[in-house]
Amino acid sequence: MQMLYQWELGKNTPEQVGASFFLERNADSEVESFARELFHGAVNDIERLDKLIREHAQNWRLERMAAVDRGILRVAVYELLHYPETPPHVVINEALEIARRFSGDGSVEFVNGILDSILKTLPARETKP
């Protein structure tokens, strides 16, 4: 989410964000790799993600949403679409925790409502025995 925020508001290229974001952060290599995958995937799939978010954000224009909420939604929707091994409710719970930490009043309910609405339209995932 923070990388998407930096990309969108800082008008940096994805390459600039990717090169600078982890310079002063101590993340283990798996966490960094996964964060980079989510960021680059979301940037590359931004049109599809934004279209889905617009369809499910009743009475809200994407441009009027808080930038933090937009970033949270984009990365969560990307993960819901492209990482079937991650249980959807884990993705949503993580998004809600990020909203609690980084966004304003009402964001948790807002993000939850949109993600829940999108989740209901996605094909059911097979569960492993």
Consecutive 10-residue averages of pLDDT for the chain (129 residues): 83 83 78 88 95 91 91 96 93 95 91 95 67
Task: Give pLDDT, residue 122.
Answer: 86
Report the CATH number at residue 44. Answer: 1.10.940.10
| Side-chain half-sphere exposure of 128, counting CA atoms within 13 A | 4
Would residue 100 count as lying in a domain? yes
CA distances from 36 to 33, 46, 118 (A): 5, 15, 23
Would residue 128 count as lying in a domain? no
C-alpha to C-alpha distance for 52 and 72, rounded to whole angstroms = 14
Would residue 127 count as lying in a domain? no
Would residue 70 count as lying in a domain? yes
Would residue 89 count as lying in a domain? yes
Task: Give pLDDT, residue 129.
Answer: 46
> pLDDT digit string (tens) for 2-17?
888 888 888 888 888 8
Q: What is the pTM of this model?
A: 0.87
C-alpha to C-alpha distance for 101 and 82, rounded to whole angstroms = 25
| 15: containing domain | 2-121
